[in-house]
A and B are shown apart, each in its own frame.
Chain A
Amino acid sequence: MSQVPSDRVYSDSHEWLMDNGDGTATVGISEHAQEALGDLVFVETPSVGDELSAKQACAVVESVKAASDIYSPISGEVVEVNELLSETPELINGDAHGEGWIFRLKIADPTEIDDLLDADAYGELIAED
């Protein structure tokens, strides 16, 4: 069973989002998602300045076998991307909830965060997989 840290919220498409408390949030994919994808070999991040809406496809992670879209859990402007992923996409396999974060965005509408799943709800979702 994958770990599901309770310090963040999750989308049903397996991204996590952590509210940084300064008007920005960090986004990555869950431990469960990286496990399902297997060895990652390429990550296409969004660009700083991109305006994203909730559930918009904004990044791609490619495992040895397949490409998967990453969706922004909420709306906002991309303010930072994890540059390390271009050289070391396997950071996501090793530490999906930490060093393998994908991008940070300026939160457009904090109420959108309420629509996401807490750790318990997400844990139940992936238990059904």
Chain B
Amino acid sequence: MAHRTPLFAAHQAAGARMVPFGGWDMPLHYGSQIEEHHSVRRSAGVFDVSHMRALDISGPRASDFLRYLLANDITRIKNPGKALYSCMLNTTGGVIDDLILYRTSTDSYRLVLNAATTDSDIDWINAQAAPFAPVIARRDDLAMLAVQGPEARAKAIPLLPADMKAVLEQLKPFNACEHDQFFVARTGYTGEDGFEIILPNAQVTDLWQRLLDAGVRPCGLGARDTLRLEAGMNLSGQDMDPEVSPLVSGLGWTIAWEPTERDFIGRAALEKQRQEPPAERFVGLLLLERGVLRHGQLIIDNDQTAGVITSGGFSPTLERSIGLARVKTEIAGNCQVEIRGKRLAARLVKPPFVRHGEIKIPL
């Protein structure tokens, strides 16, 4: 049977359509995915992301371990409370997963892993850990909510522990704070402002209900996907995977090449790729005709296959179809996408498509 988050009953009460996702029964939407999407762009929505797993890593050599495990360099975040986005690579430089790492004290960190890959991620992490002997704790006792949207912080702060209020009001993007088992980060996956809140399983239903009572709309995985696509954010397993380098998945910016003496898993493979001119690059696509871009559709340029769509869908904000794609480096401007045997016109654009409620590409 699929796993259920502590909010399963609350989702049913809110009219959710539940679907299997990464081994979990999760809400796809609560009636209208498009309305949920607009709520996050215009006011505030809340997502149950308790299927994502927090992993606490500590010990005197925890920092050394994470500098070896991750392609981004955790010494970029010197102070507790800072967050860092990183890929976790295999030895051939493919992306096992992308994750957010929070520094919680000098020698301790919290990773948040993707749901579908949690178990294999943890196996991989444990297998690499031995020389560094860190303490690794899987936090199955914690739930997670993402409250996102221009009004998200204003609506959430009064519902969080009063002692956190002053800090939360000043909390900067990509920073986190912790108080009495509430861990609140100003991060998210929608291109809007907001918080991700990690808290004990026993307390999540109460906070969920109070957010709904405050007018925050419950949002499902469907809206989460269209929001992240508009925001130009990669989805693990689609836009990147263990076979593909972050250098052609739009994630080159997350690789910390300096200092050169830092060895990290996948570095040798990436260094080699970096010496050669890249054959592919990662772009956004706007479909110029009616239809919907989807993962796996081919991009055609001059009658030749010139790339593949890694993520595609309908953008409720643009009311057009958009996608992310890996394409041959030399193509630019317009191209075609093959959809069910037909070739439809599309234009290469630079993601993000939407950020903080504003359309960022020419239509």
A residues engaging B (CB < 8 A)?
A: 38-39, 41-42, 44, 60, 62, 64-67, 86
Majority secondary structure of chain B interface residues (helix, strand, loop or mixed): mixed
The chain B residue sitting closest to A57, CB to CB, is B340
Which B residues touch A44, using CB under 8 A? 291, 340
Give the distance to chain A from B319, nearest Cβ to Cβ, in Å.
9
Distance, CA A62 to CA B226, complexed state (A): 14
Contacts A38-B17, A38-B28, A38-B222: A65 and B33 contacting too (C-beta < 8 A)?
A: yes
Give the distance to chain B from A34, nearest Cβ to Cβ, in Å.
12
- Cross-interface CB contact of A62 among B32, B314, B316, cutoff 8 Å: B314
19 more A-B residue pairs beyond the given contacts A64-B226, A65-B222, with a C-beta to C-beta distance below 8 A? A38-B17, A38-B29, A39-B34, A41-B292, A41-B321, A42-B290, A42-B292, A42-B314, A62-B291, A62-B292, A64-B33, A64-B222, A64-B316, A65-B33, A65-B225, A65-B313, A67-B292, A67-B294, A86-B290
**Interface size, B (range):** 10 to 19
Which A residues touch B316, using CB under 8 A? 64
Distance, CA A55 to CA B340, complexed state (A): 18
The answer to whether B291 touches A42 (Cβ under 8 A) is: yes
The chain A residue sitting closest to B221, CB to CB, is A65
Distance, CA A90 to CA B34, complexed state (A): 11
Distance, CA A19 to CA B278, complexed state (A): 59
Distance, CA A94 to CA B29, complexed state (A): 17
Which B residues touch A38, using CB under 8 A? 17, 28-29, 32-33, 222
Give the distance to chain B from A91, nearest Cβ to Cβ, in Å.
15
The answer to whether A41 touches B340 (Cβ under 8 A) is: no
The chain B residue sitting closest to A41, CB to CB, is B314
Give the distance to chain B from A95, nearest Cβ to Cβ, in Å.
16
The chain A residue sitting closest to B292, CB to CB, is A62
Distance, CA A26 to CA B53, complexed state (A): 50
